[in-house]
Structure 1
Amino acid sequence: MKTVAGALISFGVVLFFLTSCTTTPPLQLKTGEMRLLRVEMPEVIEEDLPYDVVVTFEAQGEPEIKNACFQWLTETTAVKSPSLYCYASEVQDNAPIGSSCSRWLAEGRYSRSSPIFCAKIVSVDRGIPSRFIVKIQSQNIELHYNKLECYAEYLQNGELKQTNRVGTRIRVEQ
């Protein structure tokens, strides 16, 4: 009797897990909304050369894509321990804890990223998956950059919106 009950409970648990995944709706986009999935470009880049960047996206409807914006990044900061550095800096300057130190590290002189630059879309393919191509020029890149991050600006109901950000690994050569 216990083995039959155990088998039924086990079967019920397995059935529950199998059906719960299939009945969960996927994350739906609103009408006119778009989400970037992936950005692709050559992994090894050099200064002052043009590159085609291919961005894969999904959209509900056909949003009007205005620009693609990029930033060269280094995934580590130039400060060994940002949290301790921020704390010490805030205490020394008598600034309130949680002030703009984090933003300063991300955007200030200790950041290791380029300014954001935007480019016009060259072509859009609305197949499955949807893609657009952007031509960028690799200017003012530094040897420590190891990632290119991208987001797109698009119109949704007449309002300019930004997508999520996606990135790809790169290596800068001289």
Structure 2
Amino acid sequence: MPDYIRDDLDYDVILNVDSDETPQVSKVCFRWLAEEISSAAPSLSCFVADGDFGTGSHCNYTGNSMATLGSNTFCVQGSDVRTGIPGRLVVRIRPTGLQGSYNRLQGQVEYIHNGRSELSNAVKTSVLIDKMNNPN
């Protein structure tokens, strides 16, 4: 992915595949994410100071430290995925409706293995939305 992403332009997303054979791809689905550090996470002082980490302490935290908002999922059919490079899938996307707060792109591959539909691990990459051309 390039440094900055803009609405209504084509981009090739390259996914590395750890497999001895080229997978039979059904579809690849993506979602734009806006991930921020949650204010519910412990403060930085909990990690640098000898704080009290017991129950009831402001340093005791068991939740997710990331707050995630995002777009709806959009998919590209397997017939539109290029598989000509060993170990790589190349998927062309054309983003629309981007928001300036999006800072990650998450993707997941649906593929056929032994006659059954399987899902890959979801992977993410950092992105920057060009706010000059995206007023949202």
1:81 aligns with one of 16, 40, 43: 40
> Could you tell me which residue of structure 2 aligns to residue 165 of structure 1?
122
Q: Which amino acid aligns with 2:103?
A: N
Structure whose residues are more often helix by fraction: 1
> Could you tell me which residue of structure 1 aligns to residue 45 of structure 2?
none
> Could you tell me which residue of structure 1 aligns to residue 49 of structure 2?
none
Q: How many residues align?
A: 106
Query: How do residues 102-141 of structure 1 correspond to structure 2 at under 5 angstroms?
Result: 112-120=69-77, 121-127=80-86, 130-141=87-98
- 1:70 aligned onto 2:27: no
Identity within the alignment, %: 29
How far the C-alpha of 1:55 sits from its partner, in A, is 1.1
* TM-score in terms of structure 2 length: 0.68
Distance 2:28 2:7 in 1: 20
Residue pair 2:35, 2:68 contacting (<8 A) in 1 also: no
Q: Which amino acid aligns with 1:122?
A: V
Any idea what SS the aligned residue of 2:17 has? strand
Distance 1:50 1:63 in 2: 24
Structure 2, unaligned runs of 5 or more: 42-63
Residue pair 2:4, 2:127 contacting (<8 A) in 1 also: yes
State the superposition RMSD in angstroms. Answer: 2.2
Q: Which amino acid aligns with 1:123?
A: R
Larger RCO: 1 or 2 (CA < 8 Å, sep 6+)? 2
* TM-score in terms of structure 1 length: 0.54
How far the C-alpha of 1:125 sits from its partner, in A, is 2.8
Structure whose residues are more often strand by fraction: 2
> Could you tell me which residue of structure 1 aligns to residue 5 of structure 2?
45
Any idea what SS the aligned residue of 1:164 has? coil
Distance 1:71 1:144 in 2: 13
Q: Which has the larger radius of gyration?
A: 1
Structure 1, unaligned runs of 5 or more: 1-40, 83-101
